[in-house]
Every structure is written in structure tokens, then in C-alpha cells.
């Protein structure tokens, strides 16, 4: 009897040990994935109503983003993320041309797909990524590496506007606070623009009376492994100053309109054809930022672009373009006063060298102001953005009200109101004034 009970006890003990071992294995597997695997994303609904004539809904967009991160060990990490949207306004209304609907109705893209490799002094990121070399708020200045999606102007968040590129980004911290960064990319992606007829299509001056005008599709550069984009960035900290210098070369993300003339038709005297081309440019830049006390940051970005093409005053000469350099800079101050976060920027760009044949504006100047404050333990945050062009008087006024319902859900109400001449940066969207409501759920 004792022999049978002993064998039974031994069996129970062995079963218990096996069960405990399986629990430990399950706990170990759970811990492995919990420590190494992360996921997240966002569901957004954006509705906008254009109250300028013709009044109508201009956006009823559903957006989904998702990303996963996997940590192999302390030296290798992988991130993959994507974004897709569907805008019902192009099915519920017939106010837009077919080209606009094809461009903005749906989209599905990979946003991040890169491997991070880290060592004590060396960090390598290989894959599809955003590379940010400038942090201006109103426009992009030193942020020249990644192209931009400007189909909705500068209104979405800049993280949303930037178009990731396939690249190798290498950072070497050779001394404490001193970093050398090298970027090499075969990706020839350029800026995306809304087609004619969209709310935020950029203005193209019409031809003289009696001349027809044809706009060809964007002549985007083709990716080949003989011509690469690349640059070097050197940054360092000295006495509280965060300083950086860089050089970068790529096809110009903004196309120049090369012109050719042909015989007219239907009674017109001639036809001018506009061919958007992206010629290679070189950017030489410097940036700085400096904390002032506990509540202010002074910052600036200075970019000299070599070899950009501009419109000529003589359309029949040299395909209607002239090659000049351009200097763009922004000086900003971020300041917190009695709980109000304030950002101010002075922005300016100028065409350099001889300008007697240049038809574009030689000098453009803007002032950017932003105010934001939190109430009720940061649940309610009103925000106001005001931009004015000092040369032509064009303006953008964008009030917003953010309400955090719960930590993962935020409602935003706002408006974007433009004014100014048709040939100014913000005034060209005078007919696109809108009110909107966005709902965001992050998981």
C-alpha cells in the first residue's frame, strides 16, 4: 500500500514540477514578448467645411496609423509602421476634378521600416525613415533631407507632412556632445503637390491673353544607383549653445517650370507648355539653439541653396528659367510666461546675385506667432497661430481648441482663415477658408 502511494506521490510531484515548469516557460515567453515587442497606432476622423464660396465639405477623412517595434537586444531594434486614409468627400460630392479625387481620395503608405544598430559611439539607422535637420515651426528651412507632402499646405502636423525616404543614416559621437552624421540615399522622392482644382493647389500665373497654357505631369527624377543624395552634418554643444553645420545635395524637392512654345489652336496665338523639373541643388546650412534661463529658447536656421531655378521675365529665353542661388533663414524665440507657451519666428528668403531677369519675388518676409495654454489639468488647450507676410500683407489665422476627453482620446475644433493677394504664399488660399473638427484615438 505504501508502495502504491509512494509511486502516486512521486507521480504527483513530477506532474507538479512539469506544470510549474510550463508556467515558468509561459511566463518567460510572455515576459520575452512584453519586454521586446511594442505596438501602437492612432485612429483619426477629420471633417472640414469650407465656408468660403462655394461653401461645402472639403474633407471627411478617416485615417489609420499603426506601428510595431521589436527589440532584438541592446544593439538591434526594428520598427515598421504605415498609414492609410479614405476621404469620403470625393464620393459624397462632385465639386472636385477627377485628378484631385485620384490624388486625395485614398492612400496607403509605409511610413517607417528601418533597423537601428547601436554601439557605444556609433548609431546606424537603415531603411525608410524621416531625417529631421531643422525644427522651424511655420515653414521648412533647414529641414531639407526629407521631401514634403504639401497637398494640404503646411496645415497638418509636420510629422504628417514629411515624406520618409529610404536611406542610411550614420551618427558617430566621437567626443561627448560632438556628433558627426552622414546620410546617403538613392531615394529620389520629391514634394507632393495638390493638382489644379484642389483647395490647396499652388497658384500658377495664367499666360497672357490669347495664349493657351498646358501643365505637364511632374517630371520626377527616377531612382538609379548611379546618382545618390547625401550629406554630412556636424553638431556640437559648447557653453549651452547647440550648434550644427551641414551640407546636403539632392534634386530640388520643389520643381521649376521649364517652358516651351508651340503653335496655338482654336484661335489662340500660341501654346506654352510648362514642364516641372527637379534639377539638383546643394544646401549649405547652419543651425543654433540656446536656452535662456528656465523659460526661453533662442534658435535659428540659415540655409544657402546653390543652383535653384526661378521663373524668368523672358519666357522664351532659356526655357523661361534662370539659375540663381537662394538664402533662407529663420530666427525664433520660444518662451513660457504665466503658463502660456509662446513661439515667435522671423522668416525670410532672398534670391541672390543678379536679379534683373528674375520674375519671382526677390525678397519674402513673414512673421509667425503661436500661443498655447493648458487649463483644467491640461485637459483643455486653446491654441492660436498667426502668420503675416510683411511684403504683401498676406495672412493666416488658425485658432484651435484641443480637449482631452481621456488620455487616449482628443477632440480638436478649429479654423484656417487666409487673406491677401492671389500671388502671395498665404493669400493664394483666400478661397479655401475652413472650419474643422478632428477626433483622435491613440492606442
What's the pLDDT at 418?
97
Determine contact, residues 443/65, Cβ cutoff 8 Å: no
Question: Which residues span the domain enclosing 111?
Answer: 33-118
Determine contact, residues 400/413, Cβ cutoff 8 Å: yes
What's the pLDDT at 159?
93
In a domain, 93, yes or no: yes
The C-alpha cell at 189 is 522622392
Residue 240 region, left (φ>0) first, then alpha (ψ -120 to 50), else beta?
left
Q: Is the pLDDT of residue 1 over 50?
A: no
Closest CA to 48 of 439, 434, 441, 401: 434
Question: Measured in whole angstroms, how far is the alpha carbon of residue 28 from the centre of its chain?
Answer: 41
Determine contact, residues 117/123, Cβ cutoff 8 Å: yes
- Of the two residues 18 and 403, the one the predictor is more confident about is 403
In a domain, 152, yes or no: no
The last residue of one of the domains, among 97, 118, 139, is 118
Determine contact, residues 437/47, Cβ cutoff 8 Å: yes
Instruction: Give the rounded percent of residues in the chain with a pLDDT score beyond 70.
Output: 93
Which of 7-16, 71-80, 96-105, 264-273 shows the lowest mean pLDDT across its residues?
Answer: 7-16
Judge if the upstream peptide bond of residue 54 is cis by omega within 30 degrees of 0: yes
* Structure letter (DSSP) for residue 429: G
- Of the two residues 114 and 11, the one the predictor is more confident about is 114
User: pLDDT for 387-414, tens place per residue?
Assistant: 999 999 999 999 999 999 999 999 999 9
In a domain, 238, yes or no: no
Closest CA to 432 of 99, 253, 255, 203: 203
User: pLDDT for 296-344, tens place per residue?
Assistant: 999 999 999 999 999 999 998 999 999 999 999 999 999 999 999 999 9
In a domain, 192, yes or no: no
Which of 19-23, 50-54, 96-100 shows the lowest mean pLDDT across its residues?
Answer: 19-23
Average pLDDT for 225-235: 94
Q: Is the pLDDT of residue 17 over 70?
A: no
What's the pLDDT at 22?
52
Number of domains in the chain: 2
* Predicted confidence band of residue 53 (pLDDT cuts 50, 70, 90): confident
In a domain, 150, yes or no: no
What's the pLDDT at 376?
95
The last residue of one of the domains, among 95, 118, 141, is 118
Q: Is the pLDDT of residue 9 over 80?
A: no
Determine contact, residues 164/153, Cβ cutoff 8 Å: no
Q: Counting beta carbons within 10 angstroms of the beta carbon of residue 335, is it exposed (0 to 12), middle (13 to 18) or buried (19 or more)?
A: middle
Torsions phi, psi for 27 (to 5 deg): -60, -40
SS3 432: helix
In a domain, 234, yes or no: no
What's the pLDDT at 206?
86
Torsions phi, psi for 159 (to 5 deg): -65, -35
Q: Is the pLDDT of residue 79 over 80?
A: yes
Sequential DSSP letters for 290-336:
EEETTTEEEEEEEEEEEEEEEEBSSTTSGGGEEEEEEEEEEEEEEEE
Q: Is the pLDDT of residue 89 over 90?
A: yes
* Predicted confidence band of residue 136 (pLDDT cuts 50, 70, 90): very high
Average pLDDT for 336-363: 95
The C-alpha cell at 359 is 520674375
* Predicted confidence band of residue 24 (pLDDT cuts 50, 70, 90): low
C-alpha–C-alpha distance, residues 83 and 79, integer Å: 14
Q: Is the pLDDT of residue 27 over 90?
A: no
Closest CA to 392 of 361, 415, 368, 371: 361
Closest CA to 248 of 184, 301, 188: 184
What's the pLDDT at 224?
81
In a domain, 414, yes or no: yes
Q: Is the pLDDT of residue 183 over 90?
A: yes
- Of the two residues 294 and 392, the one the predictor is more confident about is 392
What's the pLDDT at 210?
85
The last residue of one of the domains, among 118, 152, 181, is 118
Q: Which residues pair with 110 in a beta bridge?
A: 82
What's the pLDDT at 123?
97
What's the pLDDT at 258?
97
In a domain, 347, yes or no: no
What's the pLDDT at 348?
98
Average pLDDT for 263-286: 91
* Predicted confidence band of residue 34 (pLDDT cuts 50, 70, 90): confident
Amino acid at each position: 500500500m505504501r508502495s502504491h502511494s509512494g509511486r502516486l506521490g512521486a507521480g504527483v510531484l513530477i506532474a507538479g514540477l512539469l506544470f510549474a515548469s510550463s508556467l515558468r516557460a509561459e511566463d518567460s515567453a510572455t515576459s520575452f514578448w512584453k519586454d521586446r515587442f511594442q505596438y501602437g497606432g492612432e485612429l483619426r476622423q477629420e471633417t472640414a467645411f469650407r465656408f468660403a464660396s462655394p461653401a461645402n465639405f472639403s474633407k471627411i477623412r478617416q485615417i489609420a496609423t499603426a506601428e510595431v517595434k521589436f527589440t532584438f537586444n541592446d544593439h538591434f531594434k526594428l520598427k515598421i509602421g504605415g498609414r492609410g486614409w479614405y476621404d469620403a468627400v470625393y464620393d459624397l460630392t462632385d465639386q472636385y476634378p477627377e485628378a484631385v479625387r485620384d490624388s486625395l481620395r485614398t492612400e496607403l503608405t509605409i511610413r517607417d521600416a528601418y533597423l537601428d544598430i547601436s554601439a557605444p559611439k556609433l548609431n546606424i539607422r537603415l531603411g525608410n525613415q524621416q531625417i529631421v535637420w531643422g525644427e522651424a515651426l511655420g515653414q521648412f528651412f533647414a529641414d531639407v533631407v526629407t521631401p514634403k507632402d504639401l497637398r494640404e499646405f503646411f496645415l497638418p502636423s509636420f510629422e504628417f507632412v514629411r515624406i520618409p525616404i529610404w536611406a542610411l543614416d550614420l551618427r558617430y559621437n566621437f567626443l561627448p556632445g560632438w556628433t558627426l552624421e552622414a546620410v546617403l540615399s538613392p531615394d529620389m522622392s520629391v514634394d507632393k503637390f495638390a493638382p489644379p482644382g484642389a483647395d490647396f493647389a499652388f497658384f500658377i500665373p495664367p499666360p497672357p491673353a490669347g495664349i493657351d497654357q498646358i501643365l505637364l505631369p511632374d517630371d520626377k527624377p527616377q531612382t538609379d544607383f548611379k546618382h545618390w543624395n547625401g550629406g554630412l552634418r556636424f553638431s556640437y554643444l559648447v557653453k549651452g549653445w547647440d550648434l550644427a553645420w551641414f551640407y546636403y545635395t539632392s534634386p530640388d524637392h520643389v520643381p521649376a517650370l521649364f517652358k516651351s512654345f508651340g503653335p496655338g489652336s482654336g484661335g489662340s496665338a500660341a501654346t506654352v507648355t510648362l514642364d516641372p523639373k527637379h534639377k539638383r541643388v546643394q544646401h549649405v546650412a547652419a543651425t543654433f539653439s540656446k536656452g535662456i534661463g528656465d523659460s526661453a529658447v533662442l534658435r535659428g536656421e540659415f540655409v544657402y541653396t546653390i543652383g535653384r531655378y526661378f521663373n524668368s521675365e523672358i519666357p522664351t529665353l532659356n526655357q523661361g528659367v534662370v539659375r540663381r542661388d537662394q538664402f533662407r533663414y529663420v530666427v525664433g524665440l520660444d518662451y513660457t510666461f504665466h503658463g502660456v507657451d509662446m513661439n515667435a519666428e522671423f522668416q525670410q528668403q532672398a534670391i541672390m546675385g543678379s536679379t534683373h531677369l528674375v520674375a519671382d519675388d526677390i525678397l519674402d518676409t513673414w512673421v509667425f506667432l503661436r500661443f498655447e495654454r493648458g487649463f483644467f489639468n491640461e485637459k483643455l488647450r486653446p491654441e492660436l497661430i498667426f502668420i503675416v507676410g510683411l511684403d504683401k500683407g498676406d495672412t493666416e489665422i488658425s485658432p484651435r481648441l484641443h480637449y482631452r476627453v481621456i488620455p487616449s482620446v482628443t477632440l480638436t475644433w478649429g479654423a484656417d482663415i487666409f487673406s491677401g493677394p492671389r500671388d502671395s504664399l498665404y493669400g493664394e488660399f483666400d478661397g479655401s477658408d475652413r472650419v474643422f473638427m478632428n477626433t483622435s484615438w491613440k492606442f
